């Protein structure tokens, strides 16, 4: 490094000296300076090459690439920054290509998210609600939303009883629960064949059924087909369950006026069953006349 710096300083001094005198003299001096610097530079490179050879580096000086590499090594040893232009260009292109690939990948991911969000807009719930709406609209009916909890069946029936009475319901949802539990206990033989218990204990079927009735009466356990069957007998009214996912179900036909087959909205409890309403599962709503013309 010291020898290279000295050579650079000498070159500067010679060029300054060559800048004096007439133009012809400056031209002659400049040429002489270039020749001298070239000679000194070659001498220095030769010396450094011998030093490299003593360290075990062998290069074919007749090979252009070998000479270039040797020059780079010499300059690196001298402390001069060396950059391989071809490698630098490749590196720049590589980085540029990577940036383009990254942007393209980000765009693909963005489009994927947009399509996913759009597809999610058409959910099972929307499909079910649209199907139910198409079924109820020609009948002049619509859904009255009921609070989504374990009491939704009983609250929906309570809402229907209030509608049918033209005022308030004679029973609240807790009254209806007790009525259902009592009816199921008193008519257990009608329900036991359809009773599916999740209780894995060694207790008898009768004991498990009694535990089930206690849950119906005193907890917010979700009501299903067994409870609907009990409700229609307790209230002595037919119950119509509309659904956007399944065929409509009519229960308690024996309670129709005059025993006929014609349905009268003035006596029927109308509910809607929603399989995909909420993440927690199934849900019941009250079906009421659509007063919006």
Catalytic status, residue 124: no
Catalytic status, residue 274: no
Rounded distance, CA 213 to CA 177, Å?
A: 9
Rounded distance, CA 44 to CA 259, Å?
A: 121
Burial label for 245, CB within 10 Å (0-12, 13-18, 19+), is: middle
Rounded distance, CA 243 to CA 246, Å?
A: 5
Q: How far is CA 14 from CA 17, 31, 42, 43, in A?
A: 5, 11, 17, 17
Percent helix, strand and coil across the chain, each rounded to 5?
60, 10, 25
Catalytic status, residue 234: no
Say how many C-beta atoms besides its own lie within 10 A of residue 177's C-beta: 23
Given 173, 233, 274, 283, which residue is catalytic? 283
Let me know: does 198 contact 224? Beta carbons within 8 Å. no
Strands 269-278 and 249-251: unpaired
Secondary element (H or E) of residue 272 = strand 269-278
Rounded distance, CA 265 to CA 290, Å?
A: 13
Given 101, 149, 207, 248, which residue is catalytic? 149
Catalytic amino acids?
149, 152, 283
């Amino acid at each position: 490094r010291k020898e290279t710096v000295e050579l650079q300083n000498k070159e500067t001094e010679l060029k300054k000296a060559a800048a004096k005198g007439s133009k012809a003299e400056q031209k002659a001096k400049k040429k002489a300076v270039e020749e001298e610097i070239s000679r000194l530079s070659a001498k220095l490179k030769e010396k450094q090459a011998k030093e490299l050879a003593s360290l075990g580096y062998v290069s074919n000086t007749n090979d252009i690439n070998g000479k270039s590499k040797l020059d780079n090594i010499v300059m690196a040893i001298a402390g001069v920054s060396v950059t391989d232009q071809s490698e630098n260009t490749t590196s720049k292109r590589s980085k540029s290509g990577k940036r383009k690939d990254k942007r393209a990948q980000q765009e693909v991911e963005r489009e994927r998210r947009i399509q996913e969000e759009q597809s999610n807009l058409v959910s099972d719930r929307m499909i079910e609600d649209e199907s139910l709406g198409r079924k109820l609209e020609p009948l002049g009916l619509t859904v009255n939303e009921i609070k989504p909890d374990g009491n939704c069946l009983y609250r929906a029936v309570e809402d229907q009883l209030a509608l049918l009475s033209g005022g308030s319901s004679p029973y609240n949802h807790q009254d209806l629960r007790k009525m259902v539990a009592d009816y199921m206990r008193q008519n257990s033989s009608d329900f036991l064949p359809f009773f599916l218990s999740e209780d894995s204990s060694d207790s008898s079927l009768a004991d498990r059924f009694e535990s089930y009735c206690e849950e119906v009466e005193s907890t917010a356990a979700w009501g299903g087909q067994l409870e609907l069957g009990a409700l229609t007998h307790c209230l002595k009214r037919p119950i119509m369950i509309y659904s956007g996912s399944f065929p409509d179900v009519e229960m308690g036909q024996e309670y129709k006026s005059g025993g006929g087959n014609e349905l009268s909205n003035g006596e029927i409890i109308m509910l809607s069953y929603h399989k995909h309403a909420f993440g927690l599962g199934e849900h019941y709503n009250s079906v009421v006349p659509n007063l919006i013309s």
